[in-house]
């Protein structure tokens, strides 16, 4: 029987205990950063591009209405605030707030 010469993760203490954040914390960081970058990308566009490309495509429509753009931005901001509350690192490098 062939035996793999590599150690499994259970036997490498640095991976389990001594290095950085766990996957759950990483997910929170990724969520905050991704939502923040989405907000920045949308706000960098003219309103017409928001309707047609950025938000319209995300809503699976050819063009989003003004009300849908406002609702989308409100929901995105709420998600960003929640993600910041759950952010596992004290020093936040980016501030994507209002």
Phi, psi of 18 (to 5 degrees): -105, 0
pTM over 0.75: no
Is residue 28 one of the residues assigned to a domain? yes
Count of domains forming the chain: 1
Q: Which two tokens stand for residue 6?
A: 């590599």
Answer whether residue 96 is part of any domain: no
User: Residue range 25-29: average pLDDT?
Assistant: 89
Domain annotation covers residue 10: no
pLDDT for res 56: 87
CA 63 to chain centroid: 24
Domain contains 1 = no
State which residues form the domain around 73.
24-85
User: Using CA atoms, how far apart are residues 56 and 92, in angstroms rounded to an integer?
Assistant: 30
Tens digits of per-residue pLDDT, 40-65? Answer: 999 998 988 888 878 888 899 889 99
Any domain includes 91? no
């Amino acid at each position: 029987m062939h035996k793999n010469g590599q150690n499994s993760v259970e036997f490498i203490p640095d991976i389990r205990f001594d290095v950085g954040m766990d996957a759950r914390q990483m997910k929170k960081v990724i969520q905050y950063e991704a939502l923040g970058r989405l907000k920045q990308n949308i706000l960098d566009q003219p309103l017409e591009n928001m309707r047609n490309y950025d938000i319209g495509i995300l809503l699976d429509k050819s063009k989003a209405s003004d009300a849908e753009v406002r609702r989308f931005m409100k929901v995105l901001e709420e998600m960003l605030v929640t993600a910041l509350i759950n952010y596992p690192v004290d020093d936040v490098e980016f501030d994507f707030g209002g």
